Chains A and B, each alone.
Chain A
Amino acid sequence: MTAVDEVKIGGMGASRRRVEDNRFIRGKGNYVDDIVLPGMLHMEILRSPLAHARIKSIDASKAWAMPGVRLVLTGETMAARNLAWMPTLSYDTQAVLATDKVRFQGQEVACVIADDPYIAKDACEAIFVDYEPLPPIVNPMQSLADGAPLIRDDKENQSDNVIYDWEVGDREGTDRAFAQADLVSKIELHYPRSHPSPIECCGSIADFNRSTSKLTVYMTTQAPHIIRAAVALVAELPEQMIRIVSPDIGGGFGNKVPVYPGYVASILASILLERPVKWIEDRTGNLISTGFARDIYLHGELALRKDGRILGVRMKATADHGAFFSDAQPSKFKIGLMHSAFACYDIPNAHLLARGVYTNKAPGGVAYRCSFRVTEAMFFQERMVQAAADDLGMDQAEFRRVNFVRDDDFPHRTPWGFLTDSGQYSKCLDVGLEAIGYQDFLKEKEEAAKRGRLLGIGISTMTEPLGAGNSREYDILGIKMFDSAELKIHMTGKALLRTGAKSQGQGHETTWAQIVAHELGLPAEDILVEEGDTDTAPFGMGTYASRSTPVAGAAVAMVSRKIRAKARKIAAHLLEISEEDVEWELGRFYVRSQPERGVTIQECAMAAYSNMPDGMEPGLENVAYYDPPNLTWPFACYIVTVEVDPETGVWDVLRLVAVDDCGVRINPMIVEGQIMGGLTEAYAMANMQFITFDEYGNCIGSNFTDYLLPTAWETPGFELHEVVTPCPHHPIGAKGIGECAAVGGPAAFVNAVMDALKGTGTRNIDMPLFPDRVYEALQTGADVSGAPPVRIGEA
């Protein structure tokens, strides 16, 4: 007998076909709206048509009188149970149903619970709300202006619209660096509001059973255990009586992390009616009220030496958080991990000032396919880097290379104090430049320019912090960010694995089994993976911020090793030797001096239930809670070439090369799928995805006719390359990957278009790079802002 062949058992490195596909391709997924419970009622939400208004009165009598209506909830009903407001994940409060004022268009005002969703919707329309309009605020400049209306007059000690002022870095040191600079490069940027828009909207089914006092909630959540804790705290229910089930989720991208009023209202409705209550959000509700992304303004400065070295960086960021500060992010950091910017560059001095403000826009800045504001950090970084290279008259690739942290300089302390541990930045860049044919393209560009054609090339290189925690630094509402895995090996050698993470398309049912196969030699197909049910899964913080593989995936490896350690003792017993004489090869223990004498892991499993050594606890089950020593730091280089039509401002992607170093790849097929998905969202952000507001606070982008998502037709093709630098602290050397391309990608597109426009005088066009904006830049040579209120012609 020899070790099992890891490829044959679907272990690490195998592009194993996905287990979950078997149900999805048959239309047999189990999404929240597919669940039907006996006696189930349906809830719809009445939303505010106004962005800012005082509620004078609400008359729901006509709704109550409609046949089939079972319950109408208003702010008053909620307030009577102390549920009109709920705490947010950022230590603010958020209205569940409005009592005093509405503070953004689309805010939840009332809920109707009825026999079917059509009746509920009709009844919502029969509710009369008398509003007294107030002046709306749609950007931070208005918010901070003298005499601006106070949005959060519900809060004591809140005299203006500022949420926080936050500072990090060395102000004096950075000032000195700027004083010594040969050149200071400055740029003004706005990362516009966007929305994750998974194809499945949010929803929940609350099922309170009075006879058992148990509350079961099926819901679209990426973090069911956090929700259980939140429900226990907000609804004051005992935690053991709360079961949160996250069934199949039709995409998350951060949109399904926060707690939304619809969830809370459906829970209260079920408690009051003692029947299951289903709430399925419609797309407009999803777009205008749930967690948006970005909406940050930046003034950025780089202190430069003539030879290209960056001496210092200054960032001044203003974040528009909407009406409630309900970002999902680690509590220690006010503007997420914005200060992870420039982590791949060796810069001695850095200073960041951040200010958060309230506006009359939807709340809930979520990490849309990124780790807590890292998307903005890396976009600003790479736009600043390109502008600086242009200001210096230096080649943009060379400028990056000169400033990269060197391969032999790890661990490296980043400008704002993170510790990076590994990377081959120059090598990634070289792979990318060679793949795109950099020098040839520069010649082609020059030739094309002579014929009036505008070609451009954009580069974006970045390392980003993925996989919170460690728990020393990362918590949400004080709950430490670690994760977990529980592995039960049955006597026949088959296994059940559960984790505290929750897949929304990442393929955990496939890849977690591959890690167990790698550690234990059990065939991946013998391992059933379950997630998302808080009654059965071990406690974990869920899936977002690319943390599944860095944290829960590590826990899977660690619990497998615990199992292996116990199996080793059983093997020694079965082989009648001392444990020190037992050797391991994949799937099998053997006698060191007699390799042909051995027992398989499956034989050890059987013995754990039938023939364990004296004094040993029976069974072969364990659980591991993993608290990573550091974040993981994948690196990426994205290069885009474009052609801009000078007549129309329309730009087309010619080629897109992506080089990703996410460490060891568990399932290369799935990793590449994640990268391509991220690249598409990067393209979408640069090209079309845009939620804006007019001067009245109307949300422009409230359906997929206005809020554009790329189709198969526009989306460019992808050329993928890899470099592998294993993560030094992760048990299997893996790093996060799900978000890299969405984080690093947007700057590559914008840099490419700006490169095509080099020499026109325009330093920046805010995303999305709509043709009319590019055309305007070509005509005026000025920067083009995309800040709301929306300009005529864009609505």
Chain B
Amino acid sequence: MTSLFQEVSPGAAEDTPTRQITVTVNGESRTAVVEPRLVLAHLLRQAFHLTGTHTGCDTSNCGACTVLFDGTPVKSCTMFAVQADGHEVMTVEGLAGPSELHAIQEGFKEEHGLQCGFCTPGMMMASKALLEENPNPTEDEIRWALSGNLCRCTGYQNIVKAVMWAAKKLEDQ
């Protein structure tokens, strides 16, 4: 814990079970005391202030909360924070360093792969997992890999193009 204190609800402290966990988030080791029922998305958003991870459905359908868990895309709204204890999590904020952009981020901008931007972080994290496993995917492979992530704005065609743009850029690098 780095904070001097954490205020708790009166009367709640002695009854509420908590557990201390340490998670490597975007390469940085971070520790928090959490209730076992806290979901990972809320740990990232509320405790670690990484608000790029969004929640849109609570039932793991929409994928807005997708993060990489030891490199694998998971839906952080349906995983408990305690399950991440001792593991590595990467969020959209970890895609590139300060004042840098990952090829996937550039691709989404170049190919107009986003409109309202709410699904975008999850979409990009799922794309990252895909490109690491399959650096040169076909359109069908991209559509399948992103089929756990819903977008209401774009109709996906430009998202597919964005991933292809990124694949090419990464290949050229």
Contacts and interface: CB of A to CB of B under 8 A. Distances in A.
Interface of A: 17-18, 20-29, 31, 33-34, 36, 67-68, 114-116, 118-119, 196-201, 248-253, 282-284, 504-507, 669-670, 672-673, 676-681, 703-705, 709, 711-713, 715, 717-718
Contacts of B118: 29, 31, 198-200, 250-251
B110 A504 contact: no
B42 to A, nearest CB: 8
Contacts of A713: 143-144, 147
Nearest to A667: B112
Query: What are the 10 A-B residue pairs with the smallest beta carbon separation, nearest first?
Result: A27-B52, A250-B118, A24-B117, A68-B9, A505-B116, A27-B92, A505-B115, A704-B61, A67-B11, A676-B155
B57 A703 contact: yes
Contact of B155 (A36, A669, A680, A704): A680
Contact of A21 (B11, B45, B55, B114): B114
Contact of A25 (B56, B108, B157): B108
A197 B50 CA distance: 24
Contact of A677 (B92, B144, B154): B154
Q: Interface of chain B, helix or strand or loop or mixed?
A: loop
Interface residues of B, number: 62
B165 to A, nearest CB: 12
B117 A20 contact: yes
Interface in B8-45: 9-12, 15, 35, 37-38, 45
Contacts of B51: 27, 31, 33-34
B142 interface: yes
Contacts of B91: 27
A150 B70 CA distance: 58
A718 B53 CA distance: 30
Given A118-B37, A198-B116, A712 B142 contact: yes
Interface of B: 9-12, 15, 35, 37-38, 45, 49-59, 61-62, 64, 91-93, 95-96, 101, 105-106, 108-110, 112, 114-121, 124, 142-144, 146-160
A677 B93 contact: no
B59 A25 contact: no
11 contacts: A23-B117, A25-B105, A25-B106, A33-B54, A200-B118, A250-B117, A672-B112, A680-B155, A712-B143, A712-B146, A712-B159
A389 to B, nearest CB: 29
Contacts of A29: 52, 117-118
Contact of A718 (B124, B153, B157): B157
A251 B152 contact: yes
Contacts of B120: 24-25
Q: Interface of chain A, helix or strand or loop or mixed?
A: loop
Contact of A197 (B55, B64, B144, B152): B152
A712 B15 contact: no
A162 B142 CA distance: 50
Contacts of A114: 9
A36 B93 CA distance: 18
A21 B111 CA distance: 11
A24 B117 CA distance: 5
A676 B152 CA distance: 10
Contact of A680 (B54, B117, B124, B156): B156
A131 B114 CA distance: 46
Contacts of A672: 112
A678 B115 CA distance: 12
Contacts of A18: 109, 112
A283 B52 contact: no
B99 to A, nearest CB: 10
Contacts of A28: 52
